[in-house]
Structure 1
Amino acid sequence: MANKNRSSPSSATPKLMEVSGFSLMNEDLLRNILSRLPAISFASAATVSKTWNAACCHILSRPKLSSAISLKPLPLVALQEVFDKVMSEPIRPHFAIASVGPGFEIKDVLQFMVEKVRSRTPIIVSSVKGILGRDALSHEFREVKWIDGNIDEVPVNTGIVLTVGFVPGLKVDVIPLLRQRKAPQGSMIDKFVQDIKSYTSSMSGCTSPQAIIMIGDGSVDQKPILEKLDYAMSMETIIVGDERGQFVYRSSDVSRNVGTNKKHSPDAVALVFARDRNKARGIGNIEFHFALSKGVSAIGPRLKAASVRVQDSYTVTWLTARREGQQEILDGQQMLEDIDNEMENNMDCVDLYIGVTRRRNCSVGSDKPKMMTTLALHGVEG
């Protein structure tokens, strides 16, 4: 009996190790299989059991962007092609952005996306002047630009880039600036900023989001909107976008959608990324970074405006100015000559802009006004 008792543990141990090893192998195999599924099948697999759901959550535990471009001449074919590509791997869409060429009806693209992705996924579709991305079929990087309806590089105008994002630890939604026809723009801008702050506060407990992607209506001056956002948001909030676009959108909050607000028209729309204060344990923090191109370089002396005269409905400004520390007043021609001399007579080879710095009081709603500094670039003509 003593020998039998001593031998029992040694005979049972290999079996225990064998079972444990088999379980681990099964888990690895399961993850390997699930990681190869397209997004829709992956979503279904996550509902099979707790084990499968845990495996799916392990696969999608880090941020993921899936993007593709198509230049197919038929809009529906191009749209289906990029959608199939971005959804060919596991992803849970937290947002979707489609940038399309002039050959697309943006409302049709939005309707297609609404039917294909989850009902609460925020979506923005915008018509743009150019696109850049990796081809859905060849996987090569492609770029195309459209200028006044003309096509550069490819003989089609139906290019599309679709980007779908998964951002664990963040809450994302579309918030529009809906302007009533007779309401002053200032009050609508204040409401837009307050809507962003309220949404962010409800999701994260603070009033400044991590990032904002904003698209503005090309027929509406976006500078006052950007100035208010710059004033109201913290320095850590990244704000990027397109101020001269055409767009349609779908928010997860039905009350924000234009279809339920027929008396309003959207002047701008913001895709807001806010921290999720109820994020699952183990989920890290996503940080946004941006880089500025060197397309605009400072040149010439710093000037102080002496007189400013605006004409032609604010599209043309006549300006005279003084150099810092000097009393002589320079007109536009003298300023251009100074710049041309500094550039060694190569001014005709570049586009010139005047950077105008302004300091003024700014406030949102009933907040106490505070002084802020803004910089705007104005193109030089003549």
Structure 2
Amino acid sequence: MPHLRAVQDKPVRIVAGLMCGTSMDGLDMAICRIDRDRPSCELLAFETVPLPDELMASLRGDETGSLAAVAHWHRAIGEAYAQALAGFVRREGIALDLIGSHGQTVYHAHGEASLQLGDPCFLADALDCPVVSQFRQGDIALGGAGAPLVPYVDYRLVGRADRATMILNIGGIANFTVLPRRPCPPEAVMGFDCGPGNMIIDHIARRYTEGRQGADLDGRFASRGSVRRDVFDHLREHRFFGQRPPRSAGREQFGPAFADALIEAVAPVTDQDWLDLFATATELTAFAVYDAYRRFVAPSISVEEILLCGGGAHNGELARRIGRYFSNLPVAPTDSVGWPADAKEAMAFAFLASERVDERPANMPSVTGARRAVLLGSITAC
């Protein structure tokens, strides 16, 4: 395996970023060319692969895994990541210098503890290069939430001089980075979790289609439904929405238990009942984004554009609802600024891995609430 010093000395690195979010809808693998001096992060290749069905069923079906289950998940996820990336690299004919692996989040308690599984030793051995993982723990140790971490990448690489930008990632959870017009100091950047993204909608889709469909493709179900105002008015009072940032969320707040309780409360019988439930859940995601902006961002930053990334960027109905809340502010995918919407999160962890090797602190205390900037990630070199 190349010595870490050899990787540190390279002015341009080929780095793979791996990301599997709280929605657990597949492993995103982005291979990037990172120029340390400019700096820049160019996507060379991208692929999303499903993880083994048995592993996904176990992770989704066991909210409070035993120690034995967690240990086996840690190994199984690490092996699955290594097998997937090795195959991808082989097909693309690309040699890697470094890997950044976010791992699979199985538990997240804001400001207290966060656990990402996926033993990096399997990646380091299979790909013959160092791996950076466990990105959140350094921030948590200094009093931070450990999330979100991508605002640092947005600040370094995506901000614009001619307009204030919201970069909205809609994965299982929705979160945003708000960047004032450049130049701006890092402490002026805002970012935090808004609330549910695809998580509730995806769960309803699995229930409605009896597992045949894992998402509301392009919002087609929601577009045929009407918002249940009584249900929506109750959901918008959820205590999470009133919490001041820094804040972060996960399956503990808006996961299967929340979605199942919502389905049981509505008790849909007809197809139209289900379509109305889709519309209501989609409206909740759009509301959560705007409510977070209205309460905590608008008093200091007036956003001039919204850039979407994550799986939710493909949900046209959700994008339309978000646009209506923001009085028809321009809403476009991050592809328009050179960051493919599906790949952006994985690309970010490739860049964060490169920053760790360069020993640059990469959290943003203004976002996470940490006492100071700190190095993110542990380096594994088997």
Q: TM-score, normalised by structure 1?
A: 0.26
Structure number with greater Rg is 1
TM-score (norm 2): 0.26
- Bigger strand fraction: 1
The one of the two structures with greater contact order (alpha-carbon pairs below 8 A, sep at least 6) is: 2
Give the helix-richer structure, 1 or 2: 2
